[in-house]
Amino acid sequence: MLGFTLAASAADDTNSASGNLPGYVLLPSPHASQLLLRRKDRLAICGDSITEQKMYSRIIEDYLTMCVPDLKITVRQYGWSGEHAPEFLARMTNDVLRFNPTVATTCYGMNDHQYRPYTNSIGETYQTNQDEIIRAFKAKGVRVILGSAGCVGKVPGWQKTQGFTVDELNENLGTLRNIDVALAKAEKVGFADVFWPMLNARSVVPERYGTNYNVCGADGVHPNWAGHTIMAYAFLKAMGLNGDLGTFTVDLAKNRMKTSSGHKVISSKDGDFEIRSSRYPFCPCEPEAVAAVHYPHCENDDVTKDNSIQSGMTLVPFMQDLNRLTLIAKNGSAQQYRVTWGADSKTFSAADLAHGINLAAEFPSNPFGEAFAKVDNAVAAKQNFETREIKVDFRPPGNRHPTPEEIAAQTAKVVKDDEKKHRELADAIGNAFSPVTYTIKISPE
């Protein structure tokens, strides 16, 4: 049984959408009360075209690989553009279950809501197929995290002639989200609330970042990096991860530092502490010279734009909840200190340092960036291959509408060769991940 609690609505800031959809009520969402992942889990990330964008799935795999490496989680993404829940149900045995996942996330509902106001038929079809997906996974011993769809930012172009409103579409998506909540509770599976954080973000960005900022993407459906960061946050939180990535505790009077697991002090002298870390913070940007394809560059990352992961992190408590690399420095004689990490320096009061600062939040561009980019490049290459594998290699060539039997026969032919290539790409991720050595300098001002 997965561990989760049903949060009371009064204490749960992800339940009341009254400010966004007047008169509409979202059910309280189940929250993970313990870590739902197990060591050496095989995670399947399943969904429609938003998953096939390979952005939130990439953030998740990057995070699991570098931020919690001791768990040794392996990941595959199975996004398929235009997919509805019943279509995934029809292909999940051939495309997903054959690889023996132990835990799976799903993200359906966007296409299932048909980009129109809610009807009972839409809800009944969605509930039936979502329930069957859960049961099919559970029958194979797979633990499930049921993800809701996000919201829409505008009526997409292909539906503008229908005269529907954004609120009507989002009320439909909110109803499907409530169906997911009820299913997660009934089936005792995890739940990732993607809908509410994205809807809430939509309400705050016009004043904060302007009207050209599209949480849900330029077409109102497919998010850019900021929206995908919100999605990744929802799934990582649903996995029960606590976000404590390490603590460095410094006695300034004695020039000594103690570190938590995953980090080791190599040397210390006159406020300079050399550290080797086998656990990374999550890097929301990468140095331009080594950055993976389509990943924000630190040199020109603009947090007022929706193509920024850093920007997405301002719309949910990503840094506070999932990305804490804490520096605590006590027993100093000065009122304030300059902390230098990599190429950047910042000044902090002695009181703030004694309380603890989050290095990952204060220094988004940091000495881990280059190493992070190497792993992210390898993750991107593997996930790109996974899309080709299930959408091209596993389907009979030249046959646009193959039968399940034809698909199974084609898959059996190519899976051995494809899996050899997949293992090489997965190994490349492990080979790219290595300890990082760097210096933190703390000097009085």
pLDDT value at position 3? Answer: 55
Taking only the tens of pLDDT, the chain with its 445 residues reads 455 443 433 334 544 444 577 778 899 988 898 999 999 999 999 999 999 999 999 999 999 999 999 999 999 999 999 999 999 999 999 999 999 999 999 999 999 999 999 999 999 999 999 999 999 999 999 999 999 999 999 999 888 777 899 999 999 999 999 999 999 999 999 999 999 999 999 999 999 999 999 999 999 999 999 999 999 999 999 999 999 999 999 999 999 999 999 999 999 999 999 999 999 999 999 999 999 889 999 999 999 999 999 999 999 999 999 999 999 999 999 999 999 999 999 999 999 999 999 999 999 999 999 999 999 999 999 999 999 999 999 999 887 788 989 999 999 889 989 999 999 999 999 999 999 999 999 999 9
Residue 297 makes CB contacts below 8 A (sequence gap 6+) with 285, 286, 287, 288, 291
Residues 145, 239: Cα–Cα separation, whole Å? 8
Residue 233's alpha-carbon distances to 214, 220, 226, 240, in angstroms, are: 18, 20, 11, 11
Residue 346's alpha-carbon distances to 52, 190, 237, 309, 438, in angstroms, are: 39, 40, 30, 22, 17
Bridge partner residues of 444 (DSSP) = 337
Residues 209, 305: Cα–Cα separation, whole Å? 7
Bridge partner residues of 103 (DSSP) = 43, 143
Residue 326's alpha-carbon distances to 110, 236, 309, 333, 354, in angstroms, are: 38, 20, 21, 21, 11
pLDDT value at position 401? Answer: 82
pLDDT value at position 331? Answer: 96
How far is Cα of residue 170 from the mean position of the Cα atoms in its chain?
A: 22
Q: Which among 445, 438, 230 has a CA at the least distance from the CA of 327?
A: 438
pLDDT value at position 11? Answer: 34
Homologous superfamily in CATH for domain 4-238: SGNH hydrolase (3.40.50.1110)
**C-alpha count within 13 angstroms, C-beta hemisphere, residue 283:** 25
pLDDT value at position 13? Answer: 53
For 321, the token pair is 């909840």
Please give the DSSP secondary-structure letter assigned to residue 280. Answer: P
Count Cβ atoms below 10 Å from residue 285 Cβ, excluding itself.
Answer: 24
pLDDT value at position 399? Answer: 73
Report the DSSP pairing between strands 143-147 and 103-107.
parallel
Count Cβ atoms below 10 Å from residue 328 Cβ, excluding itself.
Answer: 16
Q: Where are the domains of the chain?
A: 4-238, 244-281+306-367+435-444
Bridge partner residues of 105 (DSSP) = 45, 145
